[in-house]
Amino acid sequence: MAKKASLSSPQAGTERARPVLHQHSREIQPYGKIAKLPIALDENVCAASVENLNQILADTITLRDLYKKHHWQVVGHTFYQLHLLFDKHHDEQDELVDTIAERIQLLGGVSIAMAADVAETTIIPRPPRGREEAPVQISRLLEAHEALLKEARTMARQASEAGDDGTNDLLVSDIIRTNELQVWFLSEHLVDVPLVKADAPTKTTAASAD
């Protein structure tokens, strides 16, 4: 039995203020189970939306981290522009991560969170650890965006058909529109145009324009 601190001890009278360390217990809610909240949605609808949103969450976390990787590792004459753009897109994806996770919890689910769980769940291919050329980085990001958009559109239709308007709105207004906009900004960097001097039109091109 632990001895109580004497009245002259520096710890005397502080028992209630001391942190209780090394605590363990069972989970209060297992992953994949729904703790039903009074939001006027059937539990099965909530469960289906939570499953879809956790997939979107895992892919959004992966895409966010892919942007940060490229932000650190980008090289070339467009370094400054892409360095800033990648970080901007990273921060926008990070906001989506929070929004998706909160929607999952609101539906009574448990949001995926840890890196190992995300890696096991995401459909976005793992990139190499090393640096890649900027066009490859952009291509990799565009492919990830497209994969995420495909599943988001399917899941938005499913949520709408199930009457889960909140999830449908999140997927359309936040996920789809943000990713579409980022695709536009990235894609323009892969258009092959001269940097300084424009190509002079050929005679054939000029004639066809008449």
| 43-190: CATH number | 1.20.1260.10
Dist. CA 182–CA 177, nearest whole Å: 9
Q: Of 56, 66, 60, which Cα lies nearest the Cα of 152?
A: 56
* CB-CB contact of 104 with 52 (8 Å): no
- Core vs surface per residue 30-62: b (16+ CB within 10 A) or e: eeeebeeeeeebeeebbbbbbebbbbbbbbbbb
Dist. CA 12–CA 6, nearest whole Å: 6
Instruction: State residue 13's pLDDT score.
Output: 73
Per-residue tens of pLDDT for the chain, all 210 residues: 555 556 666 666 788 888 999 999 999 999 999 999 999 999 999 999 999 999 999 999 999 999 999 999 999 999 999 999 999 999 999 999 999 999 999 999 999 999 999 999 999 999 999 999 999 999 999 999 999 999 999 999 999 999 999 999 999 999 999 999 999 999 999 998 887 888 888 776 555 655
Tell me the domain boundaries of the chain. 43-190
Instruction: State residue 203's pLDDT score.
Output: 73
Instruction: State residue 202's pLDDT score.
Output: 75
Instruction: State residue 207's pLDDT score.
Output: 57
Instruction: State residue 210's pLDDT score.
Output: 56
Dist. CA 169–CA 39, nearest whole Å: 16
The model carries a pTM of: 0.88
Phi, psi of 71 (to 5 degrees): -60, -45
Dist. CA 183–CA 181, nearest whole Å: 5
Instruction: State residue 15's pLDDT score.
Output: 81
Instruction: State residue 6's pLDDT score.
Output: 62
Give Cα separations from 127 to 25, 116, 132 (angstroms): 37, 15, 9
Question: 58: which DSSP letter?
Answer: H
In this structure, the dihedral spanned by the alpha carbons of residues 88, 89, 94 and 100, taken in order and rounded to 10 degrees, is 140
